[in-house]
Amino acid sequence: MKAIPLLLLLVPAAALADEVFLKDAGTISGRIVEQTADTVRVDVGGGVVGVPMSRVERIQKGRSPLDDFDDQAKKLGPKDVAGWKKLARFAEDKGLPAQAHDAYKKVLSIAPDDADANTALGRVQLDGKWVTAEESYRARGFVKYNNEWMTPAEAQVLQTEAANDQARRDAEDRARDAEDAARDAEARAKDAEARAKKAERNQWVDPLVYGGWGFGVTEWPVAPTFNPIWEDED
């Protein structure tokens, strides 16, 4: 019985979790939250990953950091700020961002001005108060443009540049369209001229009258003949 704890200490940390080994190489470590004949769903700490059982080679059950997080959370009192901060750092070290976020939020529910928890959650101080980064930017007159915070003047410059670039692209598109239209018109004019010349040539070459199928040409165009009129001289 005394050998069991020693054996657990010798087991690699990665093995202390549910391991889903995939047929196409690779593994998914975490805590299996659902397993059916078709799918296995694994909570990896930052979310739940679903894998078709057809891709699974084998599953090895084990204890995961998520289990440790849950067990420790159950032991903490509702006002234990130090305990929740310690648990949040444990979750960060184990790669459990969602759980760390929840633990820090628990700290803020107890101590709203706790600097560690506010900083971890991306909050900043403004006029002696902890606010979100967005609230801080807006309070200082910044605006968000292209998913970045900047001054209104900077945003105006970027908007003007973008409008100018769009106008230039539109002008280039119109110029190309005009060139294409001009080439098409020129091609149509040349084609019409060629057809007119061909029709003019055919007017003096093609036979005027056909005798019907198998009879061939019966009359060809000829130049008009001159028949002089002779008068008798007295």
Positions in the chain whose pLDDT score sits under 50: 1-15
CB 140 within 8 A of CB 150: no
Distance CA 118, CA 133 (A): 11
Q: Residue 45 is part of a domain; what is its CATH number?
A: 2.30.30.100
> What pLDDT, on a 0 to 100 scale, did the predictor assign at position 61?
84
Angle at 77 between CA 76 and CA 79, to 5 degrees: 125
Burial 92-105 (b: 16+ CB within 10 A, else e): bebebeebbbbbbe
**Do 123 and 131 contact (CB within 8 A), yes or no?**
yes
What is the Rg, in whole angstroms, of the alpha carbon atoms belonging to the chain? 44
The answer to whether position 221 is within a domain reads: no
Amino acid code (one letter) for 215: F
Which amino acid, 143? V
**53 and 71 co-located in one domain:** no
pLDDT of residue 123: 94
Which two structure tokens, joined as six digits, stand for 108? 């803020």
Evaluate whether residue 49 is within a structural domain: yes
Does residue 195 lie within any of the structural domains?
no
Looking at the domain assignment, is residue 203 inside a domain? no
Average pLDDT, the chain: 82
User: 26 and 54 share a domain?
Assistant: yes
What is the reported pLDDT for 24? Answer: 82
> Number of structural domains, the chain?
3
Q: Does one domain contain both 131 and 155?
A: no
- Of 46, 55, 20, 21, the closest CA to residue 34 belongs to 20
Residues in contact with 147: Cβ distance below 8 Å, sequence separation at least 6, in sequence order: none
Which structural domain range is residue 175 located in?
A: 141-187
pLDDT of residue 232: 57
Residue 215 is predicted with a pLDDT of: 52
Q: CA 206, CA 220: separation in Å to the nearest integer?
A: 8
Give yes or no for a contact between 149 and 137, defined as CB atoms under 8 angstroms apart: yes
148-193 confidence digits (pLDDT tens): 999 999 999 998 999 999 999 999 999 999 999 999 999 999 899 8
Provide the token pair at 18. 């549910």
Within-domain flag for 207: no
